[in-house]
Amino acid sequence: DPRHFHQWLTDPAAQSDRSSEVWITRGQQEDPSGHGGAEQRLEATARLDFLWRLQARKEVEDMKELREHNECLLLNILPAHVAQHFLERDRNNELYSQSYERVGVLFASLPGFSKFYEQKELIHQHVECLRLLNHIITGFDELMDECYFQEVEKIKTIGSSYMAASGLSPDRQVRAFSPSCEDAWSHLTELVLFALAMQEILKHINTHTGNSFQLRVGIAHGPVIAGVIGATKPQYDIWGTTVNLASRMESTGVSGRIQVPQTTSCILVERGFLRQLRGSIYIKGISERHGKVRHRVSSVNYGIM
């Protein structure tokens, strides 16, 4: 009966392997001669082939969409070159690490924000406080979308502290050691300009929220080890003496200023930045490493104006 075939064609619920088998068997029973049944079997087989191809195409499209979604997630939590490392092939159990010789590291914090939060919490406005912090951090993040901050990479935030670095591109490291490289530390200039832009973002937010937060920034340069830790929740991070020094520059710094060690200031002065000698300060861990702990002789640091 052609009506059966029409129903099978138009009713998605009937379009299954089992329904086609039933339809073919029914055709054989209704036409013992086998002539009509053969034609119906050919049509049913063609229809099934079409449906299978359609299903296969949809599954391929779904897989492609899922892969693009996974790539987007990876790019949101890992630098592009690191994300590509994991996307190239199966690296589930492979540890990613990379040594860099010329990297700039930045730490920035909002002194007094913890006290500000505690005061807001007492009057049940802690959610508004977190919303403000999110607004500030988002403003810093959006700076990295600018074309002139492409060398700057956000590492992480811890509370109201912000960590970023420059010079973490493998291509940058290759160029840095090339004889034809004109300026291996141009990314350090970019990192300082990024810090100055952060200060401007904070001033703008202060104006519109009636606050008076100031950014305290520390920057250092040197070698680091970069890597990804964690499997289900991967975290890209950097380690080394340079990271510790940048952190100490921030914690011993002055609000509203950028503090750097003497070696970093020399590089920046050559690139047109002005510096102001702050005086000798004791840097825990750094001065000790140089054997100066007994006399508490501290390293000399500078504030970039």
Neighbours of 153 (CB within 10 A): 25
Residue 260 lies in a domain: yes
Q: What's the confidence (pLDDT) of residue 211?
A: 92
At residue 83's C-alpha, the angle toward residues 150 and 145, to 5°, is: 25
pLDDT tens figures, 259-300 = 999 999 999 999 999 988 887 788 877 654 443 333 333 344
**Could you tell me if 178 and 209 lie in one domain?**
yes
Residue 15 lies in a domain: no
- Among 226, 290, 230, 228, which residue's Cα sits nearest to residue 263? 290
Neighbours of 56 (CB within 10 A): 10
Cβ neighbours of residue 190 closer than 8 Å, sequence gap 6 or more:
148, 149, 151, 152, 166
Residue 124 lies in a domain: yes
**Could you tell me if 103 and 218 lie in one domain?**
yes
Distance CA 181, CA 5 (A): 74
Indicate the burial class of 208 (C-beta count within 10 angstroms; 0-12, 13-18, 19 or more).
Answer: exposed
254 φ, ψ to 5°?
Answer: -120, 135
**Could you tell me if 230 and 105 lie in one domain?**
yes
- Among 11, 46, 3, which residue's Cα sits nearest to residue 27? 3
Residue 149 lies in a domain: yes
Residue 284 designated active-site:
yes
- Among 298, 279, 277, 281, which residue's Cα sits nearest to residue 289? 298
Residue 20 lies in a domain: no
pLDDT tens figures, 141-173 = 999 999 999 999 999 999 999 999 999 987 766
Distance CA 258, CA 250 (A): 8
33 φ, ψ to 5°?
Answer: -65, -25
**Could you tell me if 114 and 246 lie in one domain?**
yes
- Among 291, 235, 274, which residue's Cα sits nearest to residue 96? 235
Residue 49 lies in a domain: yes
Residue 95 is given by DSSP the state P
Contact 107, 218 (CB under 8 A): yes
Residue 64 designated active-site:
no
Question: Which of the residues 172, 216, 248, 275 is marked catalytic?
Answer: 248
**Could you tell me if 162 and 216 lie in one domain?**
yes
**Could you tell me if 224 and 295 lie in one domain?**
yes
pLDDT (tens place) for every residue of the chain, 305 residues total: 444 544 544 454 455 555 555 555 555 555 555 555 677 778 888 888 888 888 888 888 888 888 788 788 877 888 888 888 777 766 555 778 899 999 999 999 999 898 888 887 777 777 888 999 999 999 999 999 999 999 999 999 999 999 999 999 877 665 555 544 557 899 999 999 999 999 999 999 999 999 999 999 999 999 999 999 887 788 899 999 999 999 999 999 999 999 999 999 999 999 999 988 887 788 877 654 443 333 333 344 555 55
Q: Which domain holds residue 66?
A: 38-76
**Could you tell me if 133 and 209 lie in one domain?**
yes
**Could you tell me if 47 and 155 lie in one domain?**
no
- Cα 1 to the center of its chain, rounded Å: 62
At 226, which CATH number? 3.30.70.1230
- Among 192, 140, 154, 14, which residue's Cα sits nearest to residue 75? 154
**Could you tell me if 217 and 144 lie in one domain?**
yes
Question: Which of the residues 57, 64, 271, 284 is marked catalytic?
Answer: 284
**Could you tell me if 264 and 119 lie in one domain?**
yes
Residue 7 lies in a domain: no
**Could you tell me if 178 and 274 lie in one domain?**
yes
Domain count, the chain: 2
